[in-house]
Each structure stands twice: as C-alpha cells, then as structure tokens.
Amino acid sequence: MAQHQRILDELEPLFEKAEKQGLWFYTKHGNSWFSPEKLRLMHENGCHIWGKENWQLKDPEERLAQLRSEKRAIEEKIKRFEIQLNQ
C-alpha cells in the first residue's frame, strides 16, 4: 500500500499538468488512453497504479486523428473487397 501511495504521489505533478493543459494519460500497455478524471477513478479502485515512466501526457486529439485515419483505411479495404465481390 505504501508503494501505491508513493507512485500516486509521483504522478500528481503529471495530473496537475494534464488537467491544466487538457492532456490525457497514454501508456503503451494496450495502447491505452485515459483522461485524468478516468485515471484517478481507476486509481481509487486500485487499477493501473503504474510508475510515471509508464505514462506519457498527450493531446487526446492525436488519438482521435489516429482513429479517424484507421477508420478511413478500413473503409478503403471494405470498398476494395466489395469491388472484388461484384466482379
């Protein structure tokens, strides 16, 4: 429990920065993104209490752009496959 509190204390400056600048927490573990509010809630429930070296602060718009790009790529694959089906 003391280790969890130490980790949470180390993360507090990141939370402050994220909340001030509208950033989200990103971790390579599962390519996961969390708003500061969501991550605090998860911490309250004992989840994802990982050291600061596991987290990056990123603009959530970056993730949204990435998802939109993936969506366009999938839509193109669908179109190409539909063309093959109709040949």
pLDDT tens across 5-43, in order?
999 999 999 999 999 999 999 999 999 999 999 999 999
- Residue 56's closest CA among 21, 22, 15, 27? 27
Q: Which amino acid is at 76?
A: E
Residue 1, pLDDT > 80, answer no
Q: Where are the domains of the chain?
A: 2-85
| pTM for this prediction | 0.85
